[in-house]
Structure 1
Amino acid sequence: MEFKLNLTQEQKLIMTQQMQLSVKLLQMSNFEIQKYIEKELQENPVLDAEYKKNDDDKIKDEIDYKKFMKFLESDDYGHGSYGGYSKDEEEVSPFNFISAKKSLKEFLIEQVIELQETNYIKAICEYIIENIDKKGYLATNIEDISEELSIPVEECEKCLEIVQSLEPNGIGARDIKECLKIQLIKKDLKDNKLFSIIDNYLELLADNKYNVIAKNLSITPQQAQKYGDLIKNLEPKPSRGFYTGEETKYIIPEAYIKKIDGEYHIIMNDGGMPRLNINALYKQIINNEEDKQTVKFVKDKLNSAVFLIKSISQRENTIYRILEKILEVQREYFDYGDQYLRPMTLKEIADYLEMHESTVSRAIREKYIYTDKGTIKIKDLFTTGISRVNSFEDVSAKIIKNKIIELVENEDKKKPFSDQKIADLLKDKNIDISRRTIAKYREEMGIKSSSKRKRF
C-alpha cells in the first residue's frame, strides 16, 4: 500500500444560483412572473418599477361610471345622495356593487338558520356542515362527531338527516351510494331496482354491462339501460357549482398574434409588467468609501437586480423567437383552423433555433397566446405526425382525433365501431394508424370503448 497524489482534469456543469433563476424565470407563466417581480420589488431596495398608465382609459371609466349612476337615478333605483355627482366629491367605487362569493357552507348554514328547529339541533347541524369536504361529502364518521360533542349517536343521525334534506341534493352523504340514493328519494323515484343497482351493480353500470344487470334483476337489457340512464344523470359531486375555496387560475396570454394587412405580427403582452430599472440613489451609496458593509450590501443587490432585468429580457426574446418559428411552420393553421395543423415537435423547433429541446419545453410550459381563434395553449400546437398512405405528407394527431370524434358521433349506437374498425375506416381515408394508437387517442379524449358506448 502506498499513498499517491494524482491530478485529474474533468468537465462538470455546476448550476449556479443565477443559472437556476434564469431557468426558473423562463418556465414561469406571464401571471407567475408578474407575482415574482412584485415580490422582488419588495425585497430588493435597488430595484425601481415604472408602471404604464393610460389616462384615456381612466377618463373613459369615469364618464361611463357617471352615465351608470345617472341611469340608476333616472330609473328610480338610486338614492338622493348620488345627485349632483362631481369629481371633487368622494367617489363611490363600482366594486361596492359586486357581491362576495358565497361558499357552500355559508349556503347550507343559511338554510339551517331558517329551519323550525331548536338552537340545540341547529348547532349540531352547523357542526356537521363544518365537517363536509370540498366534494360535498361528510368527511368524518358520525360516531366521531357523537364522541366530540358528547351526545348520543341517534341525535347525530337525526341532525345528519336534516343536513341531507338541504339543497343541493345529495349533500352530506357519507359515500357515493348514499349520495345517489338521497337524490333519487328527493326526485320521488323510490324504485327498489334502482336502489339495488346502486347498492350492488355500480361497477357493472360503469362498464355498461346491462345484460348482466338485467339477468340478475330479471328485467330486459332495455329496462336496465333506462335505470342506468337515470342514475348517470344524478350528481356524484354535490358541491359542483359552489365556491369551495378553490380559486380559478388566471390565464394571461404571453403574446397576441394579430393579422394586419395580410401578415401576422407577434405582440408580446408586457402591459401588466412594470419596466424595471436601478434606483439612482444607490449609485451614490457605492461611492461612499466609509461604510464598506453598506457598500457590499448594495453591490450584491445591484448584481441581483441587473441579472433579473437581463433574465426577463432574455426570457421575452426566447419566447418571441419560438413563436416566430411556430407562426412560420403553422401559417395555414392560423389562416384556416384545426384541419390545417401540421405535425410539429419540440425537437424540430429546437433544431431550427439552435436551442436545446428542454429550453423550448420550459419556454412554452403553461403558456398561452391570444389569436383570432381565441386563447390557445402553445403546447397544443405541438403534435406528432401520422403517415398518409401513398403520400409523403404526414397528418397531425389533432386532425386524427377530430376524425375519430366525427366517426364516433355518427356511428350506429346499437353497433358502435371498435378501435380496429375506426383504424380501417381511417385507412380508407389514406391515414395509416394502428388499433393501439386509436385506443390511446380515444382514452386521451375521454371517449369510452365500443362496449361502453353500446345502446340497447
Structure 2
Amino acid sequence: MNLDFELNLTQQQKLVMTQQMQMSIKLLQMSNMELNEYIRSEIEENPLLDGKEVIKNDEYQSEMSKVDYKEFIKYLDFDNYTHENYSYRSEEEEVSPFNFIGSKKSFTEYLLDQLREISIDSETRHICEYIIENLDRDGYLRDSLEDIGMAVHKELKSVQNALNVVQSLEPIGVGARNLAECLKLQIYVRNVNDTKLIEIIDKHLGNIAENKYGVIAKELNITPKEAQEYGDYIKKLEPKPSRGFFTGDEVKYVVPDAFIRKIDDDFYVIMNDSSIPKLSINNTYKNILNTENDKKDVDYVKEKLNSAMFLLKSIEQRKTTLYEVLNEILRYQKAYFVGKTNYLRPMTLKDISEKLGMHESTISRAIREKYVYIDTKGLVKIRDMFTTGIASAYSVSEDKKDMSTQKIKNEIRDLIEKENKKSPLSDQKLSEILKEKGMNISRRTVAKYREEIGIKSSAKRKRY
C-alpha cells in the first residue's frame, strides 16, 4: 500500500462572482418599483448619495418657461391627462363627499356595521362578533360550532342562534360552512322551493362542474336539458360572498419600465425614469478627501464613494441593457407594431441574445417582471412577447415558415367560439381544421393549448 503524499499542480477555469457582480445582477432583475425601493434604502444608508425626486419651485418655474405650450397642448391627451387630474375647483362647484373618504371599509367592518343595527341581546351580539372576526377571506365559517362554543364559553344552541343572525346579513351566503350551504342560503332568500334544485346542490355540484348533466338527469328522472337549466341557475349564484369587498390585500399597481411610443410614422423606445430618484454624489464630503487629516474618516468616505459610484454605474447599465433589448424586440416585431399583422412572430431569448451579443441569462434577467406600455397595445409584460414557433404544414416562405403559439391559441379560441354548442369540436377535429389552415399540430398539442387558455374539453362544453 502506497501512503506517500504528493503535490500536483493543475489548471482549471472557474468563475468566482464577487459581491459587486452579484449586486449588479440583482439590480438588473429588479422592476422599476423594486429598484425605487432599493435606491431609497441606499440613500438612507449612504450619506454620499443624494436622491432628487421633486423639482423645486424656482427650478420648476425655470423649466416651465422653456415649454412650448402650443406644442404641449397637443399631447395633453397623450397620457390620458384630463381636467380631473388637477385639484383646482371653482367655488360654485359641488364637492363630492367621496373625496373625504380616508380608508377602505373591510368586509369584516361591513358586517359589523350591519350587526350594530340589529336589536339582539348582548350575549348573542358577542358570539356574532366572534363569528364575523373568524370568517375566512371568502366569507366562510371554517370553525365548528363546538369549537366556537368552547372559545366563547357558551352552549351550542346559543352559538347556532348567533350563526343564524350572521347568515341573515348581506351579502347572502356569508357565514356558510361550505359551498352547498352558501348556495342554499341564496336560494332560500329568494323563496325558491324546488326539491330537485336542493338535491342537485347537495349531491351533484361535482357533476355540474364536469358538465355531466346526463348523470344528473338519470338520477332525478328529468331530461338532460332540464338538468342543464338547473346547472345554469346554480352557476349564477355567488360562491364567494366576500367577492368585491376589501379583504386586506392592497392592489398592486404596475409601473412600466419603458414606453414604446408612435411618433409620426415610426415607433421609439422611451425609458421610464420618472419613478426612480435622480441620484448624485453629495459634494460636502469632498472636503474630507482633500484634507486627509483623519485617515479613518477618509477611508469611510472612500468606501461609501465606491459604493455610490457602483450603484450609479449599475443603474445606468441596467437601463442600457433593457433599452437595447426592447429596441431589438421592436425591430424584430416591426410588422406587429405597425399593424401589418395581429400576431407576434415566434421569438425566443436566443434570437435576441444572438443579435445583441449577450447571454440568454442576461436577457432573461433584464426582462424579469418588467412591463412596457405600447401606444397601440397598452400595458404588456415583456416576457409575454417571447413566443415559441410551430412549423407550418406546407408553407416554405421566409415570412410564413413558422407561426407563434399565441396565434395558434387565438385560432383555437375562435374556432371554439364559433362551434355548434350542441356538438362541440373535439381536440382531434380542431387539430384537423388547424392542419387545413397550415398549422401542423397534433391533438395532444391542441389539448395542451386549449387548457392553457382556460377552455374546457368538448364534453364539458356541450349544451343540450
Matched with 1:450 is: 458
- SS of 1:351's partner is helix
| SS of equivalent residue, structure 2 residue 87 | helix
Does the 8 Å CA contact 2:343/2:406 hold for their aligned counterparts? no
Structure 2 residue 284 is the aligned partner of structure 1 residue 281: yes
| Residues 1:190 and 1:14: Cα distance change in structure 2 (over 3 Å) | farther
Structure 2 unmatched runs, 5+: 66-81
Aligned to 2:262: 259
2:208 is the alignment partner of 1:187: no
1:378 aligns with 2:400: no
- Classify the secondary structure of the residue corresponding to 1:71: coil
CA distance in 1, matches of 2:256, 2:297: 41
Does the 8 Å contact 1:31/1:250 carry over to 2? no
Aligned partners of 1:227 and 1:200: how far apart in 2? Answer: 13
Structure 1 position 25 matched with structure 2 position 27: yes
Q: TM-score, normalised by structure 1?
A: 0.90
1:71 corresponds to which residue? 92
1:141 maps onto 2:144 in alignment: yes
Query: Alpha carbons of 1:240 and 1:125: their partners in 2 closer, same or farther (altered >3 Å)?
Result: same
Report the counterpart of residue 367 of structure 1 in structure 2.
370
Deviation at 1:103, TM superposition (A): 0.6
Q: CA deviation at 1:189?
A: 2.3
Equivalenced residues, count:
437
1:340 Cα offset (Å): 3.5
- Mark the CA change 1:71 to 1:364 in structure 2 (over 3 Å): closer, same or farther: farther
**Deviations, residues 202-255 of structure 1 (Å, cap 9, x unaligned):** 222111011111111211111111111111112222111111111111111111
| 1:91 match | none
Alpha-carbon separation, structure 1, partners of 2:60 and 2:446: 55
Change (3 A) 1:113 1:330: same
For the residue of structure 1 that corresponds to 2:248, the secondary structure is coil
Counterpart CA distance in 1 for 2:122 and 2:180 is: 31
Q: Contact conserved, 1:367 with 1:378, CA < 8 A, in 2? A: yes
Contact 1:47–1:276, Cα closer than 8 Å, also in 2: yes
The residue type equivalent to 1:357 in the other structure is E
The answer to whether the aligner puts 1:395 opposite 2:403 as a matched pair is yes
1:453/1:384 Cα in 2 relative to 1: closer, same or farther (>3 Å)?
same
Q: Which residue of 2 aligns with 1:83?
A: none
Partner of 2:124: 121
Report the equivalent of 2:68. Answer: none
| Cα 1:62/1:261, change in 2 over 3 Å | closer
Report sequence identity in percent.
Answer: 54
Are 1:51 and 1:274, in contact at CA under 8 Å, matched by a contact in 2? yes
Deviates more, 1:37-46 or 1:52-61: 52-61
User: Which of 412-421 and 192-201 deviates more?
Assistant: 192-201
Listed one character per residue, the Cα deviations across residues 393-430 of structure 1 (whole Å, up to 9, x for unaligned) are 21111111111111111100000000111111111112
Alpha-carbon distance change, 234 to 304 in structure 1, aligned in 2, over 3 angstroms: same
Change (3 A) 1:63 1:413: closer
Residue type of the partner of 2:384? D
- Cα distance in 1 for residues equivalent to 2:84 and 2:226: 63
Q: Is the 8 A contact 2:214 2:224 kept in 1?
A: yes
Give, in whole Å, the separation in 2 of the partners of 1:142 and 1:4. 76
Distance 2:112 2:234 in 1: 28
What residue identity is the alignment partner of 1:171? V
> Stretches of 4+ moved more than 4 A in 1?
56-64
Do residues 439 (structure 1) and 447 (structure 2) align?
yes
Q: Is the CA contact (8 Å cut-off) linking 1:286 and 1:298 kept in structure 2?
A: yes
**Partners in 2 of 1:47 and 1:307 — Cα distance?**
12
Name the aligned partner's letter for residue 376 of structure 1: V
Name the CA shift for 1:337/1:450 in 2 (closer, same or farther; >3 Å): farther
Structure 1 residues 221, 71: CA separation in 2 closer, same or farther (over 3 Å shift)?
same
| Contact 2:335/2:341 (<8 A) preserved | no
| Match among 420, 425, 434 for residue 417 of structure 1 | 425
In 2, Cα distance between equivalents of 1:124 and 1:288: 72
- Calculate the TM-score normalised by the size of structure 2: 0.89
Give the CA deviation at 1:439: 0.7
In structure 1, runs of 5+ residues without a counterpart are 79-93
Separation in 2, partners of 1:182, 1:95: 33
SS state at 1:134 partner: coil
d(CA) in 1 for partners of 2:360, 2:437: 33
Deviations 1:154-178 (A, max 9, x none): 2111111111111112111122222
SS of the residue aligned with 2:420? coil
Q: Tell me which of 143, 151, 156 is aligned to 1:153.
A: 156
1:204 pairs with one of 177, 190, 207: 207
2:220 alignment counterpart = 217
Matched, 1:240 2:243: yes
The Cα shift of 1:4 comes to 2.5
Residue equivalent to 1:349: 352
Query: SS where residue 143 of structure 1 aligns?
Result: helix
RMSD across aligned C-alpha pairs, in angstroms? Answer: 2.4
Report the secondary structure of 1:116's partner residue: coil
Q: How does 1:309-320 map to 2 (within 5 A)?
A: 309-320=312-323
Give the counterpart letter for 1:426 in structure 2: L
